[in-house]
Amino acid sequence: MFTPGSSNHRVDIVGSTSVQPLVEKLANIYMKNNSDILINVQSGGSGMGIRSIQQKIANIGMVSEDLSQEDKKGITAIKLGDEGIVICVNNENNISNLTTQQIRDIFSGKIDNWKDVGGTNSKIHVITREDGSGTRTEFESILMKDYKIKKDAIVQSSTNEIEQSVVNDKNAIGYVSYATITDNVKDVLIDGIKASNDTLVDGSYKFIRPYLFLIHDHENLYVNDFLNWVFSPEGLEIIKNEKIIPPGEEELETIKRQINNLTTI
């Protein structure tokens, strides 16, 4: 008989706010067919996902950034898929395309008025994520490069909060997950390329980051069963429908070996 909160029948998943909506959907569908298992999904950022696994206070960490060699020690990283980072502005903003360099100049503060990139004569309000966010780490790594985000940028703690800030401010600009962006804001073309499933798959859209699961090298049978289901045809179809580019055939073979190599306890 299942007892809510029982450690033998519970899987705790913690981490990236970007990965969270996908994992909640996967968990809810899985639990419908496995009513004796409770999967608890909590956000907190990629940094929290890494720390929770390192400290063994969660079964699975959610991360939306590449891991350092130091972070990989003692854990297994399994890729759920690839996802894009998109630049968003208010729907009333007439800007529809920015170059990579213009984005760097805006977020670093070198450009601080929309008129300098073809917009209205209005001060630009930069919205960013907090330190420890996987989305911020990847945005800085793959787009900003050697440029630093301006110190007086407005900081929000989730991609949803960034989008809401842009909705409420016609002069705001932010970056959010391709998988979660809504029609409430405008996603800006970067160097003339729009983020889409096709441009993410063919690589013409350059600003792509991984969605990862982090797992202890020793895990319980319920974690392994959930992981095997996630990478089954049913789970992969859900990943694809959530605008995540799922692993290819060769990657799936590697993932299956990773799961099989986990020591169940």
> According to the model, what pLDDT value does residue 265 have?
59
Residue showing tokens 């301006």:
150
Task: Show the domain range for 233.
Answer: 7-82+210-264
Contacts of 106 (CB under 8 A, 6+ apart): 98, 112, 117, 124, 126, 173
Residues 196 and 216 in one domain: no
DSSP secondary structure of 153-194: PEEESSHHHHHHHHHT-TTEEEEEETTT--TTEEEEEETTB-
Residues 94 and 198 in one domain: yes
Tell whether 39 is covered by a domain. Answer: yes
Tell whether 170 is covered by a domain. Answer: yes
Tell whether 1 is covered by a domain. Answer: no
Residues 75 and 95 in one domain: no
Could you give the angle at the alpha carbon of 55 between the alpha carbons of 179 and 134, nearest 5°? Answer: 25
Tell whether 202 is covered by a domain. Answer: yes
- The predicted-structure confidence for 96-126, as pLDDT tens digits, reads as follows 999 999 999 999 999 999 999 999 999 999 9
Residues 197 and 226 in one domain: no
Sign of CA dihedral 233, 239, 245, 246: negative
Residues 99 and 163 in one domain: yes
Report the CATH number that the domain containing residue 246 is assigned in CATH. Answer: 3.40.190.10
pLDDT of residue 4 exceeding 90, the answer is: no
Give the end of a domain, one of 165, 185, 208: 208
Tell whether 214 is covered by a domain. Answer: yes
> According to the model, what pLDDT value does residue 2 have?
33
Residues 92 and 14 in one domain: no
Question: What's the structural domain count of the chain?
Answer: 2
- Any alpha helices (H) in 63-129, and if so which ranges? 69-72, 100-108
Residues 245 and 151 in one domain: no
- Any alpha helices (H) in the chain, and if so which ranges? 20-33, 46-54, 69-72, 100-108, 134-139, 159-167, 197-202, 221-230, 233-241, 249-261
- The predicted-structure confidence for 170-207, as pLDDT tens digits, reads as follows 999 999 999 999 999 999 999 999 999 999 999 999 99
Residues 204 and 94 in one domain: yes
DSSP type of residue 205: S
